[in-house]
């Protein structure tokens, strides 16, 4: 029988494996929970998702669950075939003090062997890490207009390890409770915001040095920026342009943004006397409203990459050439979006809808 050993892999590559192996399981955690990242050494990594620091405090003794898992897995692994495939295990503590284990095996895309110089049995290398997901569920009281209700809340512990068999050794060698407890102390001592109040979401990394990143309130106001380039049709001429929109969204759980932007359009004109072609630029500023992603989950953060509709009124601020009069207005709409592409019909007029000229633009950008 071939001897199987594990090759230590790069965490920078494997940090994506968790999302690939558990599609759709953690969308709410990724959107609403704070994320804790821990380097456990030897390319092992722990990710924790908890909505508040208090939620994590409820389950900071993770070593006891890992000890239960190691015992249960030792019983189970004798019935598993010996191979180099990676495994994803979802391990849930149940309310009756029992545990539920779901195991999925992922086939290795290739087999890699290492041969000894003095002969002997070749070594079969395991090049894919395993994933253990522990889901803690609990009822959390919340005040509403109709009174107090209890919501089902979750705290997720995800271990990305070289081998699931190593988890028992981790517990014996000191476990990982200390990592969690240090993160809790760091959150309590954070100088800039009260992270213990449960009003902030953040990313925390603990390796050689601790760091908090993207500390924000889940529903705070924010600014979305949409740069783009485009090509339009105006007076039987193809007109390229560059545009930038700044959208103030009063709350991440709303769909409406208030837009202020500018657009520079480039026209070509031929001099009938000299037959020389010149390029003229004309600048417009515009204001309006932008509607985002009504199809998101009810409590999800608004997706500013998905514009459903927009309406904008603009005015000429810089003219070059004879294309526009001094008092030219522009009314445009975003009516169709597909990825980075937006279709924007528009009209140009002078005064109160005098000398109306239609146009159409295709914008490419974010």
How do residues 271-284 score in pLDDT, each as one tens digit?
777 778 788 889 99
Task: Assign 216 a pLDDT band (cuts: 50, 70, 90).
Answer: low
CATH class of 222-365: mainly beta
The domains of the chain are located at 3-216, 222-365
Q: pTM value?
A: 0.57
Give yes or no for residue 295 having a pLDDT over 60.
no
- For residues 85 and 4, the model is more confident at 85
Burial degree of 350 (CB within 10 A; 0-12, 13-18, 19+)? middle
pLDDT of 304 reads: 65
Burial degree of 215 (CB within 10 A; 0-12, 13-18, 19+)? middle
Lowest mean pLDDT among 41-50, 67-76, 213-222, 232-241: 213-222
How do residues 132-161 score in pLDDT, each as one tens digit?
999 988 888 777 767 777 878 889 999 998
Q: Average pLDDT, stretch 16-39? A: 62
pLDDT of 27 reads: 52
Task: Assign 224 a pLDDT band (cuts: 50, 70, 90).
Answer: confident
pLDDT of 23 reads: 46
- For residues 63 and 176, the answer to whether their CB atoms sit within 8 Å is yes
Q: In what order do the strands lie in the sheet with 44-50?
A: 99-106, 86-93, 130-144, 147-161, 44-50, 34-41, 201-206, 210-216
Alpha carbon distance, N-terminus to C-terminus of the chain: 55
């Amino acid at each position: 029988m071939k001897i199987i050993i594990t090759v230590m892999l790069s965490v920078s590559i494997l940090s994506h494996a968790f999302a690939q192996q558990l599609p759709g399981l953690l969308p709410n955690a990724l959107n609403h929970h704070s994320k804790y990242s821990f380097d456990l050494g030897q390319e092992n990594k722990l990710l924790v998702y908890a909505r508040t620091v208090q939620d994590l405090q409820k389950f900071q003794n993770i070593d006891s669950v890992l000890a239960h898992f190691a015992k249960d897995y030792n019983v189970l692994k004798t019935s598993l075939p010996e191979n180099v495939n990676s495994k994803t295990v979802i391990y849930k503590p149940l309310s009756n003090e029992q545990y539920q284990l779901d195991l999925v095996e992922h086939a290795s895309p290739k087999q890699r062997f290492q041969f000894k110089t003095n002969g002997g049995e070749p070594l079969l290398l395991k090049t894919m890490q395993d994933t253990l997901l522990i889901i803690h569920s609990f009822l959390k009281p919340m005040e509403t207009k109709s009174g107090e209700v209890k919501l089902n809340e979750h705290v997720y512990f995800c271990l990305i390890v070289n081998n699931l068999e190593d988890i028992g050794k981790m517990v014996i060698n000191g476990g990982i409770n200390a990592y969690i407890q240090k993160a809790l102390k760091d959150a309590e001592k954070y100088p800039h915001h009260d992270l213990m109040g449960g009003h902030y979401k953040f990313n925390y990394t603990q390796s050689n040095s601790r760091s908090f990143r993207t500390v924000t309130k889940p529903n705070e106001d924010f600014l979305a920026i949409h740069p783009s380039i485009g090509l339009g049709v105006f007076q039987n001429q193809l007109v390229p342009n560059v545009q930038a929109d700044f959208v103030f969204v009063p709350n991440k759980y709303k769909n409406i943004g208030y837009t202020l932007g500018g657009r520079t359009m480039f026209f070509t004109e031929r001099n009938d006397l000299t037959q020389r072609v010149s390029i003229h630029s004309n600048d417009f500023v515009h204001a309006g409203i932008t509607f985002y992603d009504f199809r998101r989950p009810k409590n999800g953060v608004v997706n500013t990459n998905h514009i459903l509709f927009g309406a904008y009124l603009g005015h000429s601020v810089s003219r070059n050439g004879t294309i526009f009069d001094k008092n030219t207005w522009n009314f445009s709409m975003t009516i169709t979006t597909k990825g980075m592409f937006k279709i924007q019909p528009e009209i140009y007029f002078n005064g109160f809808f005098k000398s109306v000229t239609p146009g159409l633009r295709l914008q490419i950008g974010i």
